[in-house]
């Protein structure tokens, strides 16, 4: 017997596409919200909330009649999504929601179109008209991003205001974190030792925005006058814009592995495989980050103390909302790709 969703017309695919746009366009709001700003949430921590919500909600497809199946292609999708999603969070936190969404939306549209038309040879009425339409859409999205960028004076004012708000609420929040044992005093001491050692070892190690080490970041650096990454020194905003572009270019292929899946692991049946694959990739990224800190500190114990806090008391709600919205958009995008193509 056909599943109810298999008998759905093309209208369902369009409706799912619209719903996916609304969800994907809204998931970043909690990431930019006051709670995330107050604790300066780490991008990988926020991505963990999103992935956990994706895993927790993927089982709903079983209630819709889908069989419990798994394909390794879900891991490939996770390899696209988790790094791209982490970069997207950094972009939202440092370059802004509007400009970041515009950049990665334009690139995702372009990447998905190239996969669908030139790789999978999906049927369209006119390839030339479709290509022209996509290019015009991409130009429009880039234009929106360009004119969403405030001038330098506005940037400094907004950054300074955000810092002042964070500072004014910091004592109350810090005391609650210590009370519940989220940030232990000994861990903070080890982080300070790590930062001091790193500042004098000539390696130029500087925690990125959102790191739990950000308590030692000066006001001037919060205003955006540089962050050091291997090979370059650039402003946080520029790095955020680069992360937005990475999310579009790399994350635009998230649903591509589903095309190579077969049987009951396509469409909604792919949701479980995707969630499991994303969880595996997320765990691997945490292991890599831990091993990086092991290399920096020379100690397995001190490396644990350098990992960022999840700030559960503050972030469980915005993290859950962001993850829930993204998961809903992901399921809708699966239905849309299944019904309309990439």
Return contacts of 227-233, CB within 8 angstroms, 24+ apart.
228/204
What is the pLDDT, as a whole number, of residue 333? 85
CA-nearest of 112, 89, 85 to 31 is 89
pLDDT tens digits for the chain (342 residues)?
A: 445 455 556 677 788 889 998 999 899 999 999 999 999 999 999 999 999 999 999 999 999 888 899 999 999 999 999 999 999 999 999 999 988 988 998 899 889 889 988 888 887 778 888 888 888 877 887 776 666 666 555 555 555 555 555 555 545 444 444 444 443 444 454 455 445 444 434 333 444 444 444 343 333 334 344 565 566 677 888 899 999 999 999 999 998 999 898 877 888 889 999 999 999 999 999 999 999 999 999 999 999 999 999 999 999 999 999 999 999 999 888 888 776 665
Cα atoms in the 13 Å half-sphere on the side-chain side of 313: 14
Q: Residue 220 and residue 173: Cα distance in Å, rounded?
A: 22
What is the pLDDT, as a whole number, of residue 192? 52
DSSP assignment letter at 69 = -
What is the pLDDT, as a whole number, of residue 109? 86
Tell me the whole-structure pTM to 2 decimals. 0.74
């Amino acid at each position: 017997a056909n599943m109810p969703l298999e008998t759905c017309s093309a209208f369902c695919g369009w409706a799912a596409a619209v719903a996916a746009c609304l969800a994907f366009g809204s998931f970043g709001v909690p990431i930019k919200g006051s709670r995330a700003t107050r604790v300066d949430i780490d991008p990988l921590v926020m991505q963990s909330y999103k992935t956990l919500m994706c895993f927790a909600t993927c089982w709903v497809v079983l209630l819709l009649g889908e069989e419990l199946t798994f394909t390794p292609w879900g891991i490939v999708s996770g390899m696209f999504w988790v790094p791209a999603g982490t970069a997207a969070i950094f972009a939202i936190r440092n370059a802004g929601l509007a400009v970041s969404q515009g950049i990665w939306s334009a690139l995702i549209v372009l990447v998905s179109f190239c996969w669908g038309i030139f790789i999978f040879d999906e049927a369209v009425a006119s390839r030339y008209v479709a290509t022209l339409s996509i290019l015009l859409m991409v130009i429009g999205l880039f234009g929106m991003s360009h004119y969403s960028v405030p001038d330098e004076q506005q940037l400094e004012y907004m950054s300074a205001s955000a810092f002042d708000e964070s500072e004014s609420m910091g004592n109350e929040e810090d005391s609650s974190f210590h009370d519940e044992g989220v940030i232990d005093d000994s861990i903070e001491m080890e982080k300070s030792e790590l930062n001091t050692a790193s500042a004098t070892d000539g390696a130029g190690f500087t925690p990125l925005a959102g790191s739990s080490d950000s308590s030692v970041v000066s006001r001037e650096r919060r205003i955006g006058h540089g962050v050091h990454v291997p090979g370059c020194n650039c402003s946080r905003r520029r790095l955020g814009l680069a992360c937005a572009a990475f999310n579009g270019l790399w994350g635009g292929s998230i649903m591509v592995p589903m095309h190579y899946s077969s049987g009951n692991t396509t469409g909604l049946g792919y949701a479980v495989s995707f969630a499991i694959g994303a969880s595996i990739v997320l765990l691997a990224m945490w292991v890599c980050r831990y091993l990086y800190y092991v290399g920096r500190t020379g100690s397995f114990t001190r490396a644990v103390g350098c990992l960022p806090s999840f700030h559960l008391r503050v972030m469980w709600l915005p993290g859950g909302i962001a993850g829930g919205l993204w998961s809903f958009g992901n399921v809708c995008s699966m239905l849309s790709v299944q019904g309309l193509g990439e």
